Chains A and B, each alone.
Chain A
Amino acid sequence: MKSQGNGLRLYAILYLAFLYAPIFLLPIFSFNDGTIIAFPLKGFTTKWFAVMAEKGQLHQAVINSLIVAGSTAILATTLAIFAARASTRFEFKGKGAIMAMIMLPLVLPEIIVAMAILVILLQMGVGLGLTTIILGHTLICTPFAIAILSAAFQSLDKSLEEAAYDLGEGKFSTFRLIILPLVLPGIISSLLISFTISMDEFILAAFIGGTSPTLPVYIYSQLRFPKEIPVIMAVATCLVAVSIVLLIIAEYFRRRGVAKTGGKDSGGFL
């Protein structure tokens, strides 16, 4: 029994190492005083960050990404609020089929979505740019947002609404006074997740972004130049830091939401 337990432990350690070790290498090489990504390390430097700070194209890509991710987060979450509310509160014909169709992009190969959208957009003569990326990203982020918000709406006791209504409030004020505050943590969590997904999405951004590169597209284009790689490492390090902070905030809000409604923590999305 004991050796079997050790085997599993080794497996778990290797698995986690495989998952996270490459990410730990990013900050290490971003502070390495050398242009070649290889051990042994040469010495400590922050010059790659200095170079990074001076790249105009990079800044434009970051701004593009922020615009795309921010808009996507708001759009996807807004749409998801409607869908999640409808699917958890009401019974209607074809609900299962409709929800399945909405959630499908979650499992659909992104490359297919990207190609399909590109073909349609070109046929329609729509100019490619940030707007089209935002629309594409909204498509793939909405299922995630619905998954999070459905959980939030599901944990709402229906009699809370009825109680507010019974106490004289109307349908809209009930939504504003009772439902919205109680699902707010879910909404924030959904905004952050959508933002993160959109921020690092590559395929759609590359296909339907036209001449407006987002950050991942820009990074990919720079990987062709070996001397740029340490700078990319610095960029990646910053991204990892930002991602971790965002995910922690998202999880904090989700847990607070669970605690607030007195529900049981069933693990959630993260």
Chain B
Amino acid sequence: MSKDAMIHLQDVQKYYGDYHALRGINCDIRAGEFFSLLGPSGCGKTTLLRTIAGFEDITSGVVMIDGKHMEGVPANKRPTNMVFQSYAIFPHLTVEQNVGFGLRRDPRPKAEKDKAVAEALEMVGLKGFGSRAAHALSGGQRQRVALARALILKPKVLLLDEPLSALDKKMRENMQVELIKLQRQVGITFILVTHDQEEALVMSDRIAVMFEGEIAQLADPETLYRLPNSRRVADFIGHMNFLPAKVAGEENGEIDVDVQGLGRCHISAKQAPGGNRGEEPSVGFRPETLTLLYEGQTATDREATGTVEEVVYYGDMTYYDVKLDGVDEPVRLSMRNVPGRPVLDRGVKARVAWSPSALVLFR
């Protein structure tokens, strides 16, 4: 257990009857960190969050918060507060009463509590909304009330269960930025549960990717994106192309790999995390690591040829599915649309520039 761990999970197991929901979770979450639990539905991320909150008993293992064992400590006695997916705003109370709900047992005089409520509302941008009826608020406003209500108790850890999933895209993007700012401002450990990889990448200091009750990879967003430790993680986070590969030899930390469509490459052993689980070896790379070469351009590193099969225009970006010569499945590449760079048509021959340094070997 590291010294600055706010939350320490050690071999946490959880069974629902026969169903093994958490299969030995080990992880330390640092104080002041924005930490995300990312995974598809049913992977156990919400169960893990509720375990930390105290809503679920664990079958075995250790949960420690701020150096204290949490066994037998109920949710209302833990130094955590939660923002629920449905926000769980008390519909029969006003905004003020909702935000101040956790202060009911606070011995401070009423004037001080009112001040705390006003400050919390101001912090989430709801100044002047105090006397409104809670059930009449919009989705974004409810979210803010839920945040203020949870933060007013100054918890050591704020738990967020898919807090943005009910908002529309624009609102969600705004709230992502606001949540990051809020977290920096209050300096509390935030633990976010999400199935949206983009959300996790944008907001988190570190991300634990979970599948089937286990943490598949725990890393910062950049590592997770650039160097996923398995095809499964790579597939879940953004888009990754895979090409069949054969390992020819290995020496001095360099692996010689024959990649279909790209030829012989030297891949640094650091770019080969393993984790292929018995599948045929393959090489993965992100769409933006390939570049289309226009007439007169030459590749700075390596070059391959192929045929454009599909063109998807996104405004700022264009996605191309290109079938490299000698490969069955097309690979996807993305190009930023800038003046003087025309969008290619389907069916045309194309040259593609790439670099071995962007390849990840799964073997």
B255 close to A (CB within 8 Å): no
A164: chain B residues within 8 A (beta carbon): 90, 101
A260 contacts across to B, CB distance below 8 A: 91-92, 135
Q: Is A165 touching B86 in the complex (CB atoms < 8 A)?
A: no
A162 contacts B55, C-beta separation under 8 Å: yes
Given contacts A166-B76, A261-B135, contact A182 B82 (CB under 8 A): no
| In the complex with contacts A166-B75, A182-B92, A157-B135 CB distance below 8 A | no
Q: Could you tell me if B88 and A163 are in contact, using CB atoms closer than 8 angstroms?
A: yes
Determine the interface band of chain B, counting residues with CB < 8 A from chain A. Answer: 20 to 34
Provide the residues of chain A in CB contact with B88, threshold 8 Å. 157, 159-160, 162-163
Which residues of the partner chain B approach A163 to less than 8 Å between Cβ atoms? 82, 84, 88, 90, 149
- Rounded to whole Å, the gap between the CB of A87 and the closest CB of chain B is 21
Which residues of B lie under 8 Å from residue A262 when comparing CB positions?
91, 135
Which residues from 52 to 81 on chain B have a C-beta closer than 8 Å to any C-beta of chain A?
53, 55, 74-76, 80-81
- Restricting to A244-270, which residues have a CB under 8 Å from any CB of B? 260-262
> How extensive is the interface on chain A, given as a class?
10 to 19
Q: Does residue A126 face the partner (Cβ distance < 8 Å to B)?
A: no
Q: Does B291 contact A (CB under 8 A)?
A: no
> Contact flags (1/0) for A169-206 with B, using CB distance below 8 Å?
11000000010011000000000000000000000000
Identify which of A160, A165, A168, A182 contacts B153 (C-beta below 8 A): A168
B contact residues around A165 at 8 Å (CB):
74-76
A167 contacts the other chain (Cβ, under 8 Å)?
yes
Residues of A within 8 A of B238 (CB): none
Closest chain B residue to A178, Cβ basis: B90
- A181 CA to B101 CA, complexed, in Å: 15
B191 to chain A, nearest CB (A): 14
For A159, what are the chain B residues with a Cβ–Cβ distance below 8 Å?
Answer: 84-86, 88
The answer to whether A169 and B90 touch across the interface, beta carbons within 8 angstroms, is no
A167, B153: Cβ atoms closer than 8 Å: yes
Kindly identify, within residues 97 to 119 of chain B, every residue whose CB is under 8 Å from any CB belonging to chain A. 101-102, 104-105
**A170: chain B residues within 8 A (beta carbon):** 76
Indicate if the CB atoms of B104 and A169 lie closer than 8 Å: yes
B91-A166 in contact (CB<8A): no
Residue of A nearest to B100 (CB): A167
Residues of A within 8 A of B81 (CB): 166-167
Q: Which residues of B from 134 to 168 have beta carbons under 8 Å from A?
A: 135, 149-150, 153
Which of B92, B102, B104, B105 counts the most chain A CB atoms within 10 A?
Answer: B92
User: Which residues does chain A contribute within 8 Å of B84, judged by CB atoms?
Assistant: 159, 162-163
Q: Are B135 and A168 in contact (CB under 8 A)?
A: no
Asked whether A168 lies within 8 Å of B82 as measured between CB atoms, the reply is no
Q: A159-B88, A160-B90, A168-B105 are in contact. List 15 more A-B contacts (CB 8 A).
A: A157-B88, A159-B86, A162-B82, A163-B90, A163-B149, A164-B101, A165-B76, A166-B53, A166-B76, A166-B81, A167-B150, A168-B76, A182-B91, A261-B135, A262-B135
Q: Which 9 A-B pairs have the closest CB atoms?
A: A167-B102, A163-B88, A159-B88, A159-B84, A262-B135, A181-B92, A166-B82, A160-B88, A168-B76
